[in-house]
Structure 1
Amino acid sequence: MRESELESLMDDVYSFCGKHEILIPKMDDDYPRSKFIDLQLQELNNRFDVVTSDLLLGMASLNPRDSKFLNLKWIKDLAIVMAKTKLDQTWSLVYLLVKLTLILHVATASVERAFSIMKLIKNDLRNRIGKEFLNGWLVCKIEHKVYATISNDAIMDRFQRMKPRRIQL
């Protein structure tokens, strides 16, 4: 694009900005970074190590839109084509990065959901719950759809078989 279309694109951008009275910053000028940007960069550097940052940059570069991949719009399309053409075996690390990109959103959402549920369960009134009890409670709350399919009789039978009880449930 730099060789053939950049100048016409920039002409269109300048024309659009002039027409709508939008100030165009001079990209060659030196702009001082704000303290806010420095704080954001410091926070990112504190949260992510070099390996994680490289992984995130690699994931961002895998977007097949506007690239040499024909008829591919989404990263899932890239994964499908790689699997069908057996490129997942030739380029195994690239395919691994594609798979990580696809599952990252689901994994992040699952962790966020678990923390939200934990905040509901372990509140100020119940702040001394033990780890084992909290873990059991979280599993039941997160997987409530699975537990809804189990009958109360089956639960009582299982509980009764765990060890002898004074009273039969």
Structure 2
Amino acid sequence: MDDAYVPYGKSARYAHARNQKNDDHFRREVYIGVIDQISQELDNRFDEINMELLSCMSAFSPSKSFASFDAQKLRRLAGFYPNDFSNNNLVQLELQLDNYIDDMKRTECFQGLDNIVDLSVKLVDTNRHKVYDMVYSLLKLVLLLPVATASVEMVFSTLVIVKTKSRNKLGDIVLDDCLQTFIERDIFFQVDEDDIIETFMSMRKRRINK
């Protein structure tokens, strides 16, 4: 790394004139450039709203005896869902949160949980999802958010593959069917082709009898 950097196709004299070492080139022009690109991509994917959502979602974590619990963050998280939480619901949520965390910390079966999926299962098993119905509703939204986000990104990624130039004039219904079969291809690969043909042919007569 201490040797003079020689660009591809250039002579050693050119490298000597620049007086640049391999370490300097790869550290400043390559390594830092890649870090900048990664940073820009993260900024594009995780804007202030997304970071706020992730921060608030972490307050639900049951790990280390609910060490990350923050009632204020959870109230702020509920504010992102105005269609699911009315003003009355927000008041009920605020009243439930204090009792909820006290109950979670002193109940043995909730100790040692590591993720919110296990937490939701335990709440249902102990019927506490009915006692803390507003807390449980918010927890369900938190569980659905990553799946919904990943599903949307998957559809857009698939759309680039399926909607080629030759299929550019496809109607929405046909395009939706193509997307569904491509996205769920692992399931469709298990279906026998003969069964598909027989089902299609039995839908209606394909030829008029003369």
TM-score computed with the length of structure 1 as normaliser: 0.57
List runs of 5+ in structure 1 lacking aligned partners: 1-38
* Higher RCO (Cα < 8 Å, 6 or more apart): 2
Letter paired with 2:173:
E
Verify: 1:155 aligned to 2:196, yes or no: yes
Report what 2:119 is aligned to.
78
Report what 1:62 is aligned to.
60
CA RMSD of aligned residues (A): 3.1
Report what 1:88 is aligned to.
129
Q: Is the 8 A contact 1:58 1:97 kept in 2?
A: no
The number of equivalent residue pairs is 122
Verify: 1:104 aligned to 2:148, yes or no: no
Q: Matches of 1:90 and 1:150 in 2, distance apart?
A: 44
Report what 1:145 is aligned to.
186
Report what 2:39 is aligned to.
none
Q: Matches of 2:112 and 2:177 in 1, distance apart?
A: 47
**Structure 1: 4+ residue segments shifted above 6 A:** none
Q: Is the 8 A contact 1:64 1:73 kept in 2?
A: yes
Q: Percent identity?
A: 33
Which 10-residue stretch deviates more, 71-80 or 154-163? 71-80
TM-score computed with the length of structure 2 as normaliser: 0.47
Report what 2:82 is aligned to.
none
| 1:154/1:80 CA distance change after superposition, 3 Å | closer
Question: Cα deviations across residues 142-163 of structure 1 (Å, max 9, x unaligned)?
Answer: 1212222222222222222222
Question: Cα deviations across residues 112-133 of structure 1 (Å, max 9, x unaligned)?
Answer: 2122111111134432221111
List runs of 5+ in structure 2 lacking aligned partners: 1-42, 68-100, 106-110
Question: Cα deviations across residues 63-91 of structure 1 (Å, max 9, x unaligned)?
Answer: 23452644333222322332233211100
Comparing both structures, which one devotes a greater share of its residues to helix?
2
Q: Matches of 1:107 and 1:127 in 2, distance apart?
A: 26
